[in-house]
Amino acid sequence: MRYLTFAVAKGRLAKKTFELFEQIGIESNMEQKSRKLIFTNEDLKLKFFLAKASDVPTYVEYGVADIGFVGKDTIQEEKKNLYEVLDLGFGRCKMVVAGLKTMQEPYHKNALIRVATKYPNIARDYFYNGKNQKVDIIKLNGSIELAPLVGLSDVIVDIVETGSTLKENGLIIFEHICDLSARMVVNRVSLKMENDRISNIIENLKTLYSQ
């Protein structure tokens, strides 16, 4: 039997993902604190690796991972060719447009605005296709809330979970773009070649939600 390989996004979602595996009887042998990247379950012929979230869709598209566990934000941003098969129901948050209160009026007046974000594709889709509005998009890699505070951008497109980062920095939500959560994605060929094993995992994960 060949190995079935899982790519798991490092960071916020990883712990919960490995808890899910455990709940459906899959021992990942992952050592949370180690620097090791690949873990194997020889009995079940499974491999698990941790990757940067934004790289998970790439590993799955190329088929080096049959299955990926990653946030919907990353899936939407990366636009890879893969199947999204399951909403895992955790890591719930939303993608929003936010800014300083003083920008709310100019924002709604459709002025040409500067948008800072870690998600340029999502921002482009939202403004150009969704709202038919031309904007300048500035790509950043983190601490996005800083941009409007220091005058780099007028608004941000970013994730809000508890809302405390916005609140602590005096920012408010202007618009809600979409809801997000952790998802299971599958390589297109793997879904055909390993249909029984993958369907089994999907069914087991689904039973967790119906309990």
Chain contacts with ligand PRP (rule: CB under 6 A):
118, 142-145, 158-165
CB of 43 to ligand PRP, least distance (A): 35
Distance of closest approach, residue 163 Cβ to ligand PRP, in angstroms: 5
Exposed (0-12), middle (13-18) or buried (19+): which is 77, by Cβ within 10 Å? buried
CB atoms within 10 A of CB 92: 13
Nearer to ligand PRP, 100 or 191 (CB): 100
Nearest to ligand PRP of 4, 155 (CB atom)? 155
Residue nearest to ligand PRP (CB): 142
The residue written with tokens 């709202």 in the block is 131
Among residues 50 and 67, whose Cβ is nearest to ligand PRP? 50
HSE-up of 186 (CA within 13 Å, CB side)?
18
- Count of H-run helices and E-run strands, the chain: 9, 11
Backbone angles phi, psi at 41, to 5 degrees: -115, 100
Give whichever of 34 and 162 is closer to ligand PRP, judged by the CB atom.
162
Q: How near is the Cβ of 88 to ligand PRP at its closest, in Å?
A: 18
